[in-house]
Structure 1
Amino acid sequence: MTVWDVRWVATTGSTNADVAAGARDGAAEGFVVVADHQSAGRGRLDRRWEAPPGTSLAMSFLLRPDDVPGARWPWLPLLAGVAVTEAVERAAGASAVLKWPNDVLLAAGAGDVVGKLAGILTERVETERGPAAVVGIGLNVSQTPEQLPPGAASLAATGVEPTALFDAVADRLAAWYGSWRAAGGDLMPSLAAAYRDRCDTIGREVRAELPDGAAVDGRATGVDDSGRLVVDTGAGTVVVGAGDVVHLRPR
């Protein structure tokens, strides 16, 4: 299991940027930066991610899966999503589901979604020691409804402590990452089943909006071995990768 070397700070610009800089400076796998507040947080496609100081956790983990083919690396954010849902359940006693490719949603039971609880951003970093992955997770902890943007949710009602939440995330991420890496990045039945069971996107009618303005409409039926969403359009099956999608919306 990965041993984490954690640096916890009150505030920083971006934990992903901090860990990426550490990776380029030769930091070993397991280097982690956790912040109670970040002033220049980013989500996928460079979207801004902001929260009032002291109300959220921003954490970034340095991984060096250099023995795993690059084609399997897109499973890292999905694997991290499974880890976060498990951590939320264990530490806060709350239910969470996944929206492909990188969102964690707070659930109210019976399939109802309250709002976005966390976002995951995984970035590949080239270093002298070889390529590395920075897995960033932004998790809403104690924001009040007035402090949350539309469509978002937090764990404020659970009273969970940030340290307990981080410990749970770190534990579950280490467990899933260790198993995935030991399997050479192959899609393990246990990981595939865990993701399928927790992914709210699978089984829904969706529209995947692409950078060129085109869109793919259909029913999401699963995720393939490379972490791409499989969509049944009615006229055939189309797979779309996270890097190819600007927005994924329900229909």
Structure 2
Amino acid sequence: MTGDSDLRPPLDAHVLADELALTPDLALELLPESPSTNQVAADRARAGAADGLLVVADHQTAGRGRLDRTWETPAGAAITFSLVLRPTVPATSWPWLPLLTGHTVSKALASFGYETRVKWPNDVLIDGRKVAGILVERIETDSGPAAVVGVGINVSTAADELPVPTATSLAVAHPDLTPTREGVLLGVVAAVREGYDAWQFGGAEAAARLASSYVAHCATVGQDVRVDLPGGTSISGRAVDVDIDGRLVVETADGVEKVGAGDVVHVVPE
């Protein structure tokens, strides 16, 4: 793969519009270029955008990830989108939204033939390397709180274009599979929306199914880990579960710790 525009054409606006027209609970805003789709979506939410606004950037130039990391890709090599949602579930359930997003993105990519797992809370992995990043932000608006769900997926990024050795792309992970960016975008958005609706309206039973399915497909559970916590401290131990509140349960030498936020490193035995 190269950055040649013939090999990496812009997203086909007609294909996206035609397909999304069949989904009345989604409204597309396609931008040729944007520093951050999350920022655009947050601005739209504050201005009153309804649940289901989908902001897509053909090329995102200054994306943000968790813990204020940057997320950048060559033009035409990735899909980047942010979805405005207005959850009505109790506030205590909101911490599950980032995990739900990672889980549904992972399942969507698996439907294309990729073997995916999720590193807690929501990094999507193929062969242990990150192919997709997710940033979910709560936005306060005049009409109540909204969630902006941002997703970035490396599609045709070549190995020498990846920013770190722990990253991958769909093309690098499985060159024989060649889904289009439009196909990946539509499949992932549909999976996120379907998973969100089931969680939003399915009550306790749906929440329990999500928790069980997430744990079964989480690459972190069962691993020795180091968790770098906000504030500069860290803990180490064996990740054994994800609790009902979405927290990672870690057995350490000093006892069981439940982590609600942190950066997980899977520790590989020497």
1:173 is matched with 192
Alignment of 1:101-120 (within 5 A): 101-107=121-127, 113=128, 115-120=129-134
**2:73 aligned to 29, 36, 51, which one?**
51
1:191 is matched with 210
SS in structure 1 at match of 2:101: helix
Unaligned segments of structure 1, at least 5 residues: 108-112
TM-score by length of 2: 0.85
Are 1:72 and 1:185, in contact at CA under 8 Å, matched by a contact in 2?
A: no
Alignment of 1:6-17 (within 5 A): 6-17=28-39
SS in structure 2 at match of 1:45: helix
| 1:221 to 2:240 alignment | yes
SS in structure 2 at match of 1:188: helix
Unaligned segments of structure 2, at least 5 residues: 1-22
Give 1:10 shift. Answer: 2.2
Are 2:198 and 2:206, in contact at CA under 8 Å, matched by a contact in 1?
A: no
TM-score by length of 1: 0.91
Give 1:225 shift. Answer: 1.7
Letter in 2 for 1:195: Y
Letter in 2 for 1:136: G
C-alpha distance in 2 between matches for 1:197 and 1:123 = 25
Give 1:236 shift. Answer: 2.0
SS in structure 2 at match of 1:175: helix
| 1:80 to 2:101 alignment | yes
C-alpha distance in 1 between matches for 2:27 and 2:215 = 31
Are 2:249 and 2:259, in contact at CA under 8 Å, matched by a contact in 1?
A: yes
C-alpha distance in 1 between matches for 2:102 and 2:56 = 17
C-alpha distance in 1 between matches for 2:230 and 2:192 = 31
Higher relative contact order (CA 8 A, sep 6+): 1
Are 1:34 and 1:60, in contact at CA under 8 Å, matched by a contact in 2?
A: yes
| 1:145 to 2:159 alignment | yes
Q: Sequence identity, in percent?
A: 45
SS in structure 2 at match of 1:201: coil
From the CA coordinates, give the structure whose radius of gyration is larger: 2
2:42 is matched with 20
C-alpha distance in 2 between matches for 1:125 and 1:116 = 27
2:181 is matched with 162
Letter in 1 for 2:154: N
Are 2:103 and 2:122, in contact at CA under 8 Å, matched by a contact in 1?
A: no
1:202 is matched with 221
Alignment of 1:118-137 (within 5 A): 118-137=132-151
C-alpha distance in 1 between matches for 2:233 and 2:253 = 17
Greater per-residue strand proportion: 1
Following superposition, which runs of at least 4 residues in structure 1 exceed 6 angstroms of deviation? none
SS in structure 1 at match of 2:231: coil
SS in structure 1 at match of 2:200: helix
Give 1:57 shift. Answer: 0.6
Give 1:210 shift. Answer: 1.8
Are 1:36 and 1:55, in contact at CA under 8 Å, matched by a contact in 2?
A: no
2:113 is matched with 93
